[in-house]
Amino acid sequence: MSIYKSAINRPITTFMIFTAVIVVGIYALIKMPVDLYPEIDPPYISVMTTYPGASALDIETNITKILEDALNTVDNVKEVTSTSTDNLSVITLKFNWGSNLDEATNQMRDVIDRVYDYMPEDVDRPTILKFNTSMMPIVFYAVTANESYPGLDKILEEKIINPLNRIDGVGSVSMIGAPKRIIYIEADPRRLDAYNLTIEQIGGIIASENLNMPSGNVKMGDMDYQLRIQGEFTDSRQLADLVVGNYNGIPIYLRDVAVVRDSLKDLSLDEKINGKTGLRMFVMKQSGANTVKVAREVNKNLNELKKTLPPDIQINQILDTSSFIKGAISNLSQTLIYAFIFVVLVILVFLGRWRATFIIALTIPVSLIVAFIYLFITDNSINVISLTSLSIAIGMVVDDAIVVLENITRHIERGSSPREAAIYATNEVWLAVIITTLVVVAVFFPLTLVGGMTGMMFNQLGWIVTITVVASTFAAISLTPMMSSRVLKLRKKEVKMKKFSYGRTIEPLLNKLDDFYAKTLTWVLRHKAFVLISLSIVFIASLFSLKFVGTDFMPQTDESRLSISMELQTGTRVEETMKTARKLENIIQEKFPEVELLNVSTGSDDEGGMFSLFIGSGSNIINVMMRLTHVDERERTVWDIADEMRDIVKAFPEVVTFNISTTGAGMGMGGESNVAIEIFGYDFNTTNRIAEEFRQRLSNMPEAKNIVVSRKNDKPELQVVLDREKMALHGLNSATVSTMIRNRVNGMIASRFKEEGEEYDIRIRLSEKYRNSITLLEELTIMNQQGKKIKLKEIGSIEEYWGPPSIQHKRKERIVTVSAIPNGISLSELAKKIIKLTDEVPVPQDVLVNVGGSYEDQQESFQDLMLLMLMSLILVFIVMASQFESFTMPFIIMFSIPFAFTGVMLALFITGSTLNIVAGLGAVLLIGIVVKNGIILVDFTNLMRDRGMRLYDAIVAAGRSRLRPVLMTALTTILGMVPLAFSTGEGSEIWRPMGITVIGGLVFSTIITMIIVPVMYGLMGRSGERNKIMKLRKQFNALDD
């Protein structure tokens, strides 16, 4: 028993099955997390190794090189890059997409174990870090305070962070720039010398005084007492009265030789939010948690918790990644609803029957919901990609149902009962329906095989369209016949039609259209050569327009966020950097009313943790984060604003380099695409010179902006050069001397002061005024074991020199990159110009210059896309050739494909858009639709021929009868895309290019298909099924008289 027969005979079972699907789908829909993009494990693993006290160069030779060589042997590694900075080596391995990262991590661990012994002794064991999209903070808050500022750290920790951490799905809550309490003991070296004291001695005394010690049990009478000595300080003021020594019988108090300051840690990071002091707090989610839900919960809880805070503490949201997601998702959901309405309207206009429209429209939710079940089972989320895929699918899922329903209607109108009509009509078309579905699957299934970052987007699209279309076919041969047998009935021929009834308004119009098309076809068939030549000219002309349409990587989105990172001369003190920051702050507040929230952080926080991996920091660096007003509420786009800010920052003489970026949380997707010149070479001077040359030339290029050189300027360092012989004379060695210098300058953490369960460092060092020049440093007193005081200048000297702050490697070679983003031109055009530039600049032989960056990714993705198209074409050909059992028919149909691209090019040219990945995707999609239209036409023409019509008659008749189905398919898809192409809300930039390409391509290619396919058929399709039979029959001629 066939599916459709069972479905019709058991309507309740059928109905229940589909109800079950819908119920499960709705459950999946409710349970699924909402996110911007599908969660992915980017194939990057980093190895971090610290070697305290080593310079960038030491790190490079002693750690990075050894590890790089070893790690390069791990399976599936695509590229190894590294950065060696002072104290730290970070090596990043890029794997092929889809590699098993767990296995890679294990292998890396083995490799590291093997080489660990070859590294210097003090090197900490390397740590392996795996990246994940969920590691990016999802919400940022700016916290400002006045009187409560000194205690802000503790207040937030207790009242906000701890409760927030309890929320389900919150990974961690951290702060940057929080003021930290610390107790400084600042000594006067002259007094120390006078009393024969050293920092180390004082430190030792403090440590031995600040002590609680249990001292055993004492039994007295019936009781057993514990004996304890409570020596710990209860107040930081007690420190000042500590006796630290004895001079001629007089006790020396700490206050005599030093100043005790219970205060905040010295400034290294300065946070200003809208000009007020404060800090930043950020929330990270757990992997797999629902960003939107977590952000909502956090915000809700925070609003409650805020009430418990002192009134001067203000918490403002700087960034909520979920708001963009919510905006984008609701925007797309709306698009989906509009698409649904449009599709239903198109069906209604063409069929003119409510009941039929209802039956067909029913297949839409059923097949779309199956996609949700798929997403749920595969642990995916509702995201921009999946929703876009659904809106693409929405126009396609009705096609099969339309074919089935049309045939059923025809049978009913011939007098069959709806039940029988449903059975026999479905029987007639079910195979054809499945084959057209196969064509669509042939186009979309290869998408699931694409790798790389583009693959991440395309895989989901491929699966969703494949699954929904297959589901729709299933519904079309079960649900549609079942519903038709129940709902459809014979329409009575109305003798008197109402004035505005369907039969008097739309139907005559459609009939006229049919007639017009039939006439056009007759004319076209008589002028085949003319038509072919003129169409070829159009196609060639469109190839030329390719020159004017630039190519890009990913579309950029206006996320209402801007960030600036500026760098002053390396080594600038944070206090100086702050002055520039204040200046910038004032200008921004004055000139850009769109900036709703302004967060400026200057300097670096040594406890930034994970976050400092993403944002560079240093005493000379200013990081600015800005939130703009909503897209609809401002006239200037985020790019306009960025351009203006660029001009302003350029005018600051003290700023060495700066970078203004408009990307937020998109993790490099939907962000700015750049072109990077990669300069490989060992010698710093040569590569620096070349990098500078490129930087200069790029700055003179009006098409390039945001020029960034990856290698920072050399930074000034002071080096203490010790004389070993002299040290030996005094019984000293490098280790003791360097520890002593460190204690005097950086400070020695003598002990920790406890208060209310928290511990604060007690740091003892020389007062700043005694250690802020080379002369003063040379005067530092070092005491040897005999108690002899030796000045630093006696055993060594202090020299000033310049060292690179960081060394980057790519493929184990030193590299400098100079990157730029296009200004008013497309990425490909900029890349072309830059490639030309690299030819102009002379480079020595040992230096290699290469053009990469997003441009490289783009090239790779385009290659992938081309391969994909090729594969789709081959698969489509296979399906068609077997369907028609012919090699010519697929060719006839495939002749229409080039014109789909002509349409795409024209649409891009007219709207001034660029060809990017998303638009390319639209083009792939077009193949499916165009081919489908072609199949409908050719199949019917074949049918007419086989039924004995003459070639041209068959073509015209087929065209006339298939015009409506083709127009319906095209119109449902086009109108489904209209909301995508014209939406302006958040995130719309991502899919607008797809809307434009599909609409443009489809309008054009549908018209051309309707002409070129009949013409090609007229040329190539001379031998139909009839001729084959004739040939067969010739064998039996002998039987004739």
Q: How is residue 449 annotated by DSSP?
A: G
**Contact region with other proteins (CB under 8 A), list: 423-431, 589-597, 689-697, 774-782:** 423-431
Over the window 982 to 1021, marking each residue x when it contacts other proteins by CB under 8 A and - when it does not, the resulting string is ----------------------------------------
Is residue 417 close enough to count as binding other proteins by CB under 8 A? yes
The H or E element containing residue 799 is strand 796-803
**Contact region with other proteins (CB under 8 A), list: 37-45, 135-143, 219-227, 412-420:** 412-420
Could you tell me the smallest distance in angstroms from the CB atom of residue 964 to other proteins? 20
Alpha-carbon span 951 to 961, nearest angstrom: 15
Pairing of β 758-766 and β 181-187: parallel
The H or E element containing residue 132 is none
Residues 432-461 that bind other proteins (CB under 8 A): 432
Alpha-carbon span 461 to 388, nearest angstrom: 8
Is residue 242 close enough to count as binding other proteins by CB under 8 A? no
Is residue 427 close enough to count as binding other proteins by CB under 8 A? yes
CA angle, residues 591, 595, 596, in degrees to nearest 5: 135
* 3 state DSSP class of 822: strand
Alpha-carbon span 175 to 198, nearest angstrom: 37
Is residue 411 close enough to count as binding other proteins by CB under 8 A? yes
**Contact region with other proteins (CB under 8 A), list: 23-31, 173-181, 419-427, 710-718:** 419-427
Is residue 838 close enough to count as binding other proteins by CB under 8 A? no
Considering beta carbons, is residue 125 or 1028 the nearer one to other proteins? 1028
**Contact region with other proteins (CB under 8 A), list: 259-267, 318-326, 414-422, 775-783:** 414-422
Alpha-carbon span 445 to 276, nearest angstrom: 55
Pairing of β 139-144 and β 170-176: unpaired
**Contact region with other proteins (CB under 8 A), list: 415-423, 540-548, 596-604, 723-731:** 415-423
Is residue 1025 close enough to count as binding other proteins by CB under 8 A? yes
Tokens of 138: 């999802």
Could you tell me the smallest distance in angstroms from the CB atom of residue 900 to other proteins? 27
The three-state (H, E, C) secondary structure of 333-356, written as one string: HHHHHHHHHHHHHHHHHHHCCHHH
Dihedral, 988, 994, 998, 999 alpha carbons, nearest 10? 30
Could you tell me the smallest distance in angstroms from the CB atom of residue 486 to other proteins? 15
Backbone angles phi, psi at 733, to 5 degrees: -135, 170
Tokens of 579: 């002055």
**Contact region with other proteins (CB under 8 A), list: 268-276, 285-293, 671-679, 942-950:** 942-950
Considering beta carbons, is residue 432 or 482 the nearer one to other proteins? 432
Among 656, 701, 943, 1020, binds other proteins (CB under 8 A): 943
Is residue 403 close enough to count as binding other proteins by CB under 8 A? no
Q: Are 75 and 418 spatial neighbours (Cβ–Cβ below 8 Å)?
A: no
Backbone angles phi, psi at 564, to 5 degrees: -120, 135
Is residue 421 close enough to count as binding other proteins by CB under 8 A? yes
Considering beta carbons, is residue 505 or 888 the nearer one to other proteins? 888
Q: Are 771 and 199 spatial neighbours (Cβ–Cβ below 8 Å)?
A: no
Count of residues of this chain found to bind other proteins when the rule CB under 8 A is applied = 19
Over the window 890 to 929, marking each residue x when it contacts other proteins by CB under 8 A and - when it does not, the resulting string is ----------------------------------------
Alpha-carbon span 529 to 527, nearest angstrom: 6
**Contact region with other proteins (CB under 8 A), list: 10-18, 274-282, 294-302, 421-429:** 421-429
Is residue 424 close enough to count as binding other proteins by CB under 8 A? yes
Among 318, 429, 622, 691, binds other proteins (CB under 8 A): 429
Among 249, 415, 787, 912, binds other proteins (CB under 8 A): 415
DSSP string, 363-395: HHHHHHHHHHHHHHHTT--B-HHHHHHHHHHTT
Tell me the Ramachandran region of residue 1028: left when phi exceeds 0, alpha when psi lies from -120 to 50, beta otherwise.
alpha
Considering beta carbons, is residue 9 or 637 the nearer one to other proteins? 9
Could you tell me the smallest distance in angstroms from the CB atom of residue 892 to other proteins? 17
Among 228, 947, 1022, 1033, binds other proteins (CB under 8 A): 947
First and final C-alpha spacing in the chain: 47
**Contact region with other proteins (CB under 8 A), list: 321-329, 396-404, 805-813, 940-948:** 940-948
Alpha-carbon span 1035 to 569, nearest angstrom: 94
Structural Rg of the chain based on CA atoms = 37
Could you tell me the smallest distance in angstroms from the CB atom of residue 912 to other proteins? 47
Alpha-carbon span 406 to 416, nearest angstrom: 14
Could you tell me the smallest distance in angstroms from the CB atom of residue 956 to other proteins? 18
Backbone angles phi, psi at 227, to 5 degrees: -105, 130
Is residue 9 close enough to count as binding other proteins by CB under 8 A? no
Name 144's Cβ contacts closer than 8 Å, sequence gap at least 6: 273, 274, 276, 277, 278, 313, 314, 316
Alpha-carbon span 433 to 451, nearest angstrom: 31
Considering beta carbons, is residue 135 or 943 the nearer one to other proteins? 943
With the C-alpha atoms ordered 609, 614, 616, 621, is the resulting torsion angle positive or negative? negative
Among 5, 520, 946, 1019, binds other proteins (CB under 8 A): 946
Considering beta carbons, is residue 209 or 406 the nearer one to other proteins? 406
Considering beta carbons, is residue 419 or 715 the nearer one to other proteins? 419
Could you tell me the smallest distance in angstroms from the CB atom of residue 415 to other proteins? 4
Could you tell me the smallest distance in angstroms from the CB atom of residue 425 to other proteins? 8
**Contact region with other proteins (CB under 8 A), list: 65-73, 420-428, 505-513, 780-788:** 420-428
Could you tell me the smallest distance in angstroms from the CB atom of residue 960 to other proteins? 18
Is residue 416 close enough to count as binding other proteins by CB under 8 A? yes
Among 265, 326, 419, 744, binds other proteins (CB under 8 A): 419
Alpha-carbon span 827 to 858, nearest angstrom: 9
Alpha-carbon span 235 to 754, nearest angstrom: 9
Considering beta carbons, is residue 774 or 1029 the nearer one to other proteins? 1029
Considering beta carbons, is residue 424 or 502 the nearer one to other proteins? 424
CA angle, residues 888, 894, 900, in degrees to nearest 5: 165
Could you tell me the smallest distance in angstroms from the CB atom of residue 440 to other proteins? 20
Strand partners of residue 174: 282
Positions touching other proteins (CB under 8 A) are 411, 414-417, 419-421, 424, 427-429, 431-432, 942-943, 946-947, 1025
